[in-house]
Chains A and B, each alone.
Chain A
Amino acid sequence: VTSQEPARQGGTAAEATLAGERTLLAWTRTIVAFCAIGVAVAKLRPLAGIPIVIFGAALWPVARPRTSSEAVAGSRARVRAVAAAITTVAVLSLLIVLAGRGSAGFHR
């Protein structure tokens, strides 16, 4: 058991590192999708869309914790920020749809 201990710990550390990397990639995909929808909204309503893009870009440094303890400690705040932001985008989109049939849309 003792001889296996270091290998098992090494495996765990490697798994945690790779899990952290997958999480960062998941954040990247989410931020890219967030900015893409921001650009789409900006095309319809620039005043609503540009803040979405800026917020998406601002999420990037937040999504990149230095240590695993930092990753765990900040998890709730990050998740909350994303949930609140997406709900806001949904409400904005709903307002765009309801208020005026897309004055900047391609088809009236």
Chain B
Amino acid sequence: MCAARPSWPGQERAVIVSGNARQEPDGHEPDVRFTLANERTFLAWSRTCLALIAAGLAITQLLPPFPGVSWGRSVIGTPLIVLGGTVSVLSYLEWQRYQRELRLGAPLTRSRLPVIIAGAIAAVAALAGAVELYSLAAR
């Protein structure tokens, strides 16, 4: 199983894109279940994006301001909205890549989106903690 894994990131992508896959995809139409599963995965990412944007809007618009830190809410909420928009584009690119790999019958390259989103959410959480501590100190 280890042999099927690419030895460096993007290796399989490079091989696949080297064909005329971008204009007229090679391979054959995969089983409809795979197409539907890929679509559901994309939709799950879309909902995650919408949740991030909603959280960003709620923090900036609905949350009471941090005492002594007028910019606190924007600093926490704006990255969440930017993250939501960025992930929606990335999840479309992932959908496109999976669909191409399914057509070619190639092994699916592991997505990097989970690492990106986990890191970004951890960073925003750390930022929120820092703003809260700063607000306590400024009080």
Contact = CB atoms under 8 A, between A and B. Distances in A.
Interface of A: 15-16, 19-20, 22-23, 26-27, 29-30, 33-34, 36-37, 40-41, 44, 68-69, 71-72, 75-76, 78-80, 82-83, 86-87, 89-91, 93-94, 96-98, 102, 105-108
B139 interface: no
Interface in B83-97: 84-85, 88-89, 91-92, 95
A16 B30 CA distance: 12
B57 A40 contact: yes
Which interface residue of B50, B89, B91, B95 has the most chain A CB atoms within 10 A? B50
Given A19-B37, A26-B44, A30-B47, A94 B32 contact: no
A57 to B, nearest CB: 15
Given A26-B39, A40-B54, 10 more contacts: A23-B43, A30-B47, A40-B57, A71-B36, A86-B50, A86-B85, A90-B49, A93-B53, A96-B57, A108-B65
Contacts of A16: 31-33, 36
Nearest to B51: A33
B117 to A, nearest CB: 14
A5 B58 CA distance: 55
Interface in B105-139: none
B61 A102 contact: yes
Nearest to A29: B47
Q: How large is the interface on B (under 10, 10 to 19, 20 to 34, 35 or more residues)?
A: 35 or more
Contact of A102 (B32, B60, B64): B60
A73 to B, nearest CB: 9
B33 A19 contact: yes
A79 B92 contact: yes
A82 B95 CA distance: 12
Interface in B36-84: 36-40, 42-44, 46-47, 49-51, 53-54, 56-58, 60-65, 74, 77-78, 81-82, 84
19 contacts: A20-B36, A22-B36, A23-B40, A33-B54, A36-B54, A37-B54, A72-B32, A75-B38, A75-B39, A76-B99, A78-B39, A79-B42, A82-B46, A87-B85, A93-B53, A94-B85, A97-B57, A102-B60, A107-B63
